[in-house]
Amino acid sequence: MRQIAQQLLWLGNAGDARDASRLIDSGIEALVDLAVEEPPPRLPRQIAYCRFPLTDGAGNPPGLLATAVFATACLIRHRVPTLVCCGSGMSRSPAIVAVALAVVRGDSPEDALRQIVAGCPHDVSPLLWSDVVSACRRGPEPELPM
């Protein structure tokens, strides 16, 4: 599990998601789980949990990809300490986080991805990346009533 610089945001893998004491000790309040192949973790009641079962490659429903990005962007925007995880933490997690950060900051998704993977192991599936970026370019984040 590694923290994204200057963010209340962590990238991790399925093992990190199952380590409840580490989540609590890190101050994590929300978990975005992207691993279709992993069982849902058993979490303490105080941790919010969002599950978007994505595969690492092409074929994910565009609406599910966009919802995963916009939910993550909402957590970032509201400064909720959040762990985003997938099976190994090297493809789905960085892809969703990069596009979510791009949405929040107004950066390009490619620039955001380069920033979060710099100097760290990663293996973002080109097919997944293309689908995530495409799903989020279809239209703006929906406005929610206040």
Alpha-carbon gap, residue 73 to 97, rounded angstroms = 8
pLDDT of residue 143: 54
Q: Can you list the domains of the chain with their CATH numbers?
A: 2-137 (3.90.190.10)
pLDDT of residue 5: 72
| pLDDT tier for residue 6 given thresholds of 50, 70 and 90 | confident
Residue 81 phi/psi, 5-degree rounding, is -60, 120
C-alpha neighbours within 13 Å on the C-beta side of residue 54: 37
Neighbours of 146 (CB within 10 A): 3
What is the DSSP-derived secondary structure letter of residue 6? T
Q: pLDDT tens digit string along 69-126?
A: 999 999 999 999 999 999 999 999 999 999 999 999 999 999 999 999 998 889 999 9
- SS3 state of residue 110: helix
Tell me the pLDDT of the chain averaged across its residues. Answer: 92
Q: How far apart, in Å, do the first and last CA atoms of the chain sit?
A: 34
> Per-residue pLDDT for 48 more than 70?
yes
pLDDT of residue 138: 60
